[in-house]
Amino acid sequence: MPSHSLLQLGPLLPALEDRLAQRYSVHPLWKEPDAAAFLAARGAEFVGLVTSARYGADQALIDSLPALKVISSFGVGLDAFDLDAARARGIAVGYTPDVLNDCVADTAFALLMDVARGISAADRFVRRGDWRTGQFPLATKVSGKRVGILGLGRIGQAIARRTSGFDMEVRYHNRRALNDVPYVYEPTLKGLAEWSDFLVIASAGGGGTRGLVSREILDALGPEGYLVNIARGSVTDEDALIDALVHRRIAGAGLDVFTHEPHVPEALMALDNVVLLPHVASNTHETRADMARRVEDNLAAFFAGRPLISAAV
């Protein structure tokens, strides 16, 4: 018989939902016609919350669940969570880092290659029939170039390792320098941007990094520099980025994330010097299966009285 009552905030992988339903009593909040009324009437029933990086858990939701003891999230992003509210209540928060590092890093490098060499643009060129009447424009060499990484955490380091096969030089900017990495630390983001041929954003989202890649940083990257973002759209000033792309103050951008997903500004979609992906950096069968298993393992560890496998709080 299922034990422990869990509230599920939004849809997850069907296989994960099936396995959770076999083990727990799960209620899908998003199917309620009036979620606020449901929480007011039954919020005290739930000891666990299953959510994702997309939906998070804000203070209002946490406050509506007085018996809540554990949150297990599908994803690595934490900017949609009120971690202070969870910490104040002693609520354990689990998420799914590490298991998605490789696929996110692969996507970052795919975007870097695509925007520099014009892979997607060349595909459109062929499909339009333009090859019959002209030659595709020259692109930018990738090998031997300089890669600056904003946020040298797990994913940032996985991206850095991939550059070795292309004989690229790597520098990074964090809040503080790391002692155990072979890459040069740039103390300012502006300095990193000025040095870089490619500036890759791999930092956390949230209020502390909102708009960090500003017009000033984009101007420092310059008209031969490229921006790649596989982190959070909020890290970049999207209006400034559009302006820089339109006026060619930077050479191009590869974006998997946007400020108001799934809305992508029409101005971006009209440009041929930007590659646009629908937030799919971790979207492989293997990685999503590993993420689902981590959601389950975090819950299982908590209810067995053990530390969470991957704890944010």
Catalytic positions, written as ranges? 232, 261, 279
Cα–Cα nearest to 233, from 284, 268, 272, 198: 268
Coil, strand, or helix at residue 299? helix
68 CB-near residues (< 8 Å, 6+ apart): 46, 47, 48, 49, 62, 89, 91
Cα–Cα nearest to 244, from 276, 274, 210, 205: 274
Distance (Å, whole) CA 25 – CA 15 = 16
Longest dimension (CA), the chain: 68
| Radius of gyration for the chain, computed over Cα atoms and rounded to the nearest angstrom | 22
Cα–Cα nearest to 217, from 191, 183, 253, 256: 191
Distance (Å, whole) CA 7 – CA 21 = 11
Exposed / middle / buried, residue 28 (Cβ in 10 Å: 0-12, 13-18, 19+): middle
Type of residue at 289 = A
Q: Which residues of 32-63 are buried (b: 16+ CB within 10 A; e: fewer)?
A: eeeeeebbeeebeebbbbbbbbebbbeeebbe
Exposed / middle / buried, residue 75 (Cβ in 10 Å: 0-12, 13-18, 19+): buried
Order across the sheet with 25-28: list the strands.
Answer: 25-28, 5-8, 48-52, 70-74, 92-94
Distance (Å, whole) CA 28 – CA 8 = 5
Instruction: Please count the CA atoms within 13 angstroms of the CA of 244 that sit on its side-chain side.
Output: 27
